[in-house]
Amino acid sequence: MTDKNGHSEKPIWQIVNEKFACDHEVVHLRLRGSNQYVYQCDTCGRATTSAIAHDKLNEDEKAKAGRFNPAIQDHWQAARDDYRKSLVEMRSRKMSMSYADWRRGHEWQRQRQRVMHRDGMICQACNENLATEVHHLTYKYHPHTPDFFLQSVCRACHERITARDKGES
């Protein structure tokens, strides 16, 4: 999938990871379990350190330490999952548009022009006529067909190829 500038869109996992990257700016000492102290991020809920030895903490630090809160991490993960699902649904809606709508779209028009330019505006079937159309060698990757599965063709050749593909000739 490409963006409005014709660049490949990032994979969903990468977008989610970037949006939910946590810099752990706000951390607090917390008691996890009955005897394990860690610093927990108040944003994502992760422990930002390994267990801290009891003898490394003074009594005041231990007394002020709150309880480790797994709900923070659960809330962060739920928000992350909801965001991922919304991206999947959005991309799914983009992909399910009708073929006619897709053909009128900016993305296809840019790809079509790119293929026609690559082929020098010459029909790749007869190598004689001016190409006026772009033929899909396969629809397997639709709507994200790589350019190498597309060929510029003239109307007569396109009709002949399409008829053959449909078993009409």
Q: Let me know: does 158 contact 124? Beta carbons within 8 Å.
A: no
In this prediction the pTM is: 0.51
CB contact burial 39-77 (16+ within 10 A = b; e otherwise) = bbbeebbbbeeeeeeeeeeeeeeeeebeebeeebbeebe
- Residue spans of the chain under pLDDT 50: 4-7
Distance separating alpha carbons of residues 138 and 145, to the nearest angstrom: 8
Predicted confidence at residue 169, as pLDDT, reads 59
Q: Spell out the domain ranges in the chain.
A: 12-95, 99-165
Number of neighbours of residue 10 by Cβ within 10 angstroms: 13
Residue 103 confidence (pLDDT): 85
Backbone angles phi, psi at 166, to 5 degrees: -85, 0
Which of 57, 66, 60 minimizes the C-alpha distance to 31?
66
* Residue listed under structure tokens 């050749």: 157
pLDDT at 5: 45
